[in-house]
Structure 1
Amino acid sequence: MSAGPLDPTPLVVGVDGGGSRTRVILADAAGNTLARVEGAGTALTPGHEGVAADIIKSLIADALATVDRTETRPAVCVVGVAGAGQERAAQALWSALASRRVADDVSVQADATIAMDDAFGDSAGVLLISGTGSVAYSRAPDGRLERCGGWGPNIGDEGSGAWLGRRALSVITAAHDGREPDTSLTGAVLTALELESLDDLIPWAAEATPGHYATLAPVVAKVASTGDLRANALISFCVEELSLHIRTLARRCFMDERAAIPVAFAGGLLSKGSLVRKRLEQRLKSAVPGATVRAEDVDAARGAVRRARRLLGVEV
């Protein structure tokens, strides 16, 4: 028997919004997952918070339709999105979501905050996120929260997918000029972007978003795995940048990178089995000797559900 609009069971929603995709989990008050849906990215850019809110509202509606609860408004919705670490952006998105009545109670958080909820709960640890963008967060043993990176695609996000994609284009244009050695990246990138010549990169780049650049990260990894020197140099540079994020927070929150430090990874570039993750885990053995990398996947949307249940008054 399907649930109707008067069903008393409260629902909660967790939203994880990145630059490339948005994931939504619909759950009951006990934390049982009822539906999962995915859609377009909702990373915040100034003046476009309403677009992100529309995407989130549509995905929540899809999740409710999956369990035949289209007439039910969730009790709590926690939204964690890239860019919400800035108070103005977070407030603008909250206002847009509240006006769209996506839930009785709406909370907007930075994407790393909800990922931390899933990775460590209330315990200490360092979380590194590398997807379209990058950022690291840490909770110190005394409860302090610290951030490293996350300055956005124009001035930061080192070691992210977008960062890696941009640098791949710089490498192949330099190789074309003769400023750098030839690389297999040239043909691989042109094929991936369905372009005929390097000259076509100029109009492509003029319109490209960080998400577009991030689509080139798997291309770089694939070419690196064939032994290409320039692609491997890019991967090594990426790994070094990401390890610096962790080492910086290890020193800031744990006093010493040799201390016992729980570390978790999230984001597409650091998915289990990826080349960047494998090399980063190896690099941490010397850069942050005390790091113990959590093997389980971090699910930021699940962390948002955990926070939503807490706001609902459920002990988690």
Structure 2
Amino acid sequence: MTDDQLVLGIDGGGTKTVARIARHDAPVAVLGEGRAGPSNWLTHGPEVAMQAVIAARDAAFKDAGIANHHANCTCIALAGAGSAAARATVVRHATAAGLADTIRVVHDAEPVLAAAFPDCIGIALLSGTGSIAFGRAADGTTARAGGHGAAAGDLGSAFAIASAAIRASIVTEPPDITDTRSVAALAPAVIAAAQSGNTAAAGILDDAARALAALVHDVARELALEAPIPLALAGGVLVGSESIRGLFTSALDLDHAPTTIVENPVDGCLRLAALPIKCP
């Protein structure tokens, strides 16, 4: 197989980076997958982020048994790379690293929409280490809310949940309180505390659910989407906790279609790499 037949999808966030390889004509048939550490462009910086991207890429090619670590097209979705300037910088670094002939960089919520809906119309809500909502209307207009970075106050994120719980003495702060990943990793303990009857923890989760609902409302209002609105959910907080999904749904006063859970946003990266014309 020649590299002009291959597409590479890379999805990076505050916890991990996942890369998958597929054929250009069959992006849903994954040939190999690789994982590496976090690659949030804003939090970890270009050098660390690109090291994770390259490590995940190399692991994916190794998993596929392909010696030449080069693809024809790649779509890279990185948390913290939402601005045009950041995306241009990622492209320069990725080009220098020889990731692919054609390189497309998007923020981390866009592939969630691409993975969930063939026409890429609707709203994607991602809540992991950070949080962001992104939507696209039928005319191609897009809007986003949140996505400023966990430490900058991504409401409803694992970092925000854990930070509130630390302040309330529900969980013990990690040795390095400045390490966003270590702080965010405490979110499951907060969820467990709420399920065990801790009213303060339950209040924190209620606040998080309302904050996430507000992000979706902001995007829906800006785009004036027709009901019922297609809605996709991704990220460890929403995918990993049925209780938070329930709280979020209750807080969401919006006419939406049944939610689509996206467990592997990297599949949306593959689709955007292989069929970019479908999701402009």
TM-score, scaled to structure 1:
0.81
* Aligned residues: CA RMSD: 2.3
Q: Name the aligned partner's letter for residue 41 of structure 1.
A: P
Specify the alignment match of 1:51 in structure 2: 48
Specify the alignment match of 2:249 in structure 1: 281
> Per-residue CA shift, 1:17-71, capped at 9, x if unaligned?
0110111111112222101222211011278212211211121111111222122
Q: Name the aligned partner's letter for residue 80 of structure 1.
A: A
1:24 to 10, 19, 22: 19
Specify the alignment match of 1:304 in structure 2: 269
Specify the alignment match of 2:129 in structure 1: 132
- Preserved CA contact (<8 Å) 1:281 1:293: no
- Preserved CA contact (<8 Å) 1:264 1:298: no
Specify the alignment match of 1:79 in structure 2: 76
- Preserved CA contact (<8 Å) 1:78 1:106: yes
More moved, 102-111 vs 157-166: 102-111
Q: How many residues align?
A: 277
Specify the alignment match of 2:113 in structure 1: 116
Specify the alignment match of 2:163 in structure 1: 166
- Preserved CA contact (<8 Å) 2:78 2:108: yes
> Per-residue CA shift, 1:189-244, capped at 9, x if unaligned?
33xx6xxxxxxx6x632xx3221211011110000000111000100110111111
Gap change, CA 1:131 and 1:144, over 3 Å in 2? same
Aligned residue for 1:291, secondary structure, equals coil
Aligned residue for 1:129, secondary structure, equals strand
- Preserved CA contact (<8 Å) 2:9 2:75: yes
- Preserved CA contact (<8 Å) 1:46 1:89: no
- Between the aligned partners of 1:68 and 1:123, the Cα distance in structure 2 is 32
- Between the aligned partners of 1:138 and 1:292, the Cα distance in structure 2 is 14
2:5 to 2, 10, 14: 10
- Preserved CA contact (<8 Å) 2:72 2:102: yes
Shift of 1:14: 0.4
Q: Name the aligned partner's letter for residue 240 of structure 1.
A: R
Aligned residue for 2:164, secondary structure, equals helix
- Between the aligned partners of 2:38 and 2:273, the Cα distance in structure 1 is 21
Aligned residue for 1:45, secondary structure, equals helix
- Between the aligned partners of 2:38 and 2:86, the Cα distance in structure 1 is 16
Specify the alignment match of 2:176 in structure 1: 204
Shift of 1:139: 1.3
Aligned residue for 1:165, secondary structure, equals helix
TM-score, scaled to structure 2:
0.90
- Between the aligned partners of 2:31 and 2:63, the Cα distance in structure 1 is 8
Specify the alignment match of 2:238 in structure 1: 270
Shift of 1:141: 3.6
> Per-residue CA shift, 1:275-316, capped at 9, x if unaligned?
2112212332xx22x1223244253211110111125x899x
Specify the alignment match of 2:196 in structure 1: 226
Aligned residue for 1:276, secondary structure, equals helix
Gap change, CA 1:142 and 1:61, over 3 Å in 2? same
Aligned residue for 2:80, secondary structure, equals coil
Aligned residue for 2:181, secondary structure, equals helix
More moved, 10-19 vs 268-277: 268-277
- Between the aligned partners of 1:48 and 1:34, the Cα distance in structure 2 is 30
- Between the aligned partners of 1:261 and 1:281, the Cα distance in structure 2 is 13
- Between the aligned partners of 2:262 and 2:92, the Cα distance in structure 1 is 32
Aligned residue for 2:176, secondary structure, equals helix
- Specify every segment of 5 or more residues in structure 1 that has no aligned partner in the other structure, as ranges: 173-184, 194-200
Question: Rg larger in 1 or in 2?
Answer: 1
- Between the aligned partners of 2:185 and 2:71, the Cα distance in structure 1 is 34
Gap change, CA 1:89 and 1:149, over 3 Å in 2? same
Moved over 4 A (4+): none
